Copies of this chain bind each other. A is one copy, B any other.
């Protein structure tokens, strides 16, 4: 069983979105999850940002479930957006967080706006590291 702690020390500012500044982890095993985009297993990608976000998290959830794990096993997210105007909308996925992370804490996240993802229609990509 991994020992995972999500920490926000007082000495640095509170995170400005739903993530933690530090994840401390002691675990015998790790999962590296390749950046997931908003494409489902049939190859379909919603045109809108929020639809893509939902699919990204569905893909990450499916990757975790395939290994007997869930969102509370995540120790690090890295989020890549194509349009900075979507940053605010990306926090909306946090509406799902209380359900995904029933323990209350959230993993670290680093959010970046880059020039392009693998295909032009992809608006968000999230990679993750999990501990088992």
Contact = CB atoms under 8 A, between A and B. Distances in A.
Interface in A5-63: 7, 9-13, 15-17, 19-26, 28-36, 39-43, 59, 62-63
Contact of A21 (B28, B33, B43, B112): B33
A113 interface: yes
Given A13-B40, A34-B19, A34-B21, A113 B114 contact: yes
Contact of A11 (B22, B66, B107): B66
A94 interface: no
Nearest to A9: B66
For chain A, the bracket of interface size reads: 35 or more
B62 A12 contact: yes
B62 A32 contact: no
A75 to B, nearest CB: 5
Nearest to A131: B30
B108 A24 contact: no
Interface of A: 7, 9-13, 15-17, 19-26, 28-36, 39-43, 59, 62-63, 65-67, 75-76, 78, 80, 84, 87, 107-118, 120, 125, 127, 129, 132
Q: Nearest 9 A-B pairs (CB), nearest first?
A: A35-B110, A9-B66, A11-B62, A34-B108, A113-B116, A32-B76, A13-B41, A23-B32, A84-B116
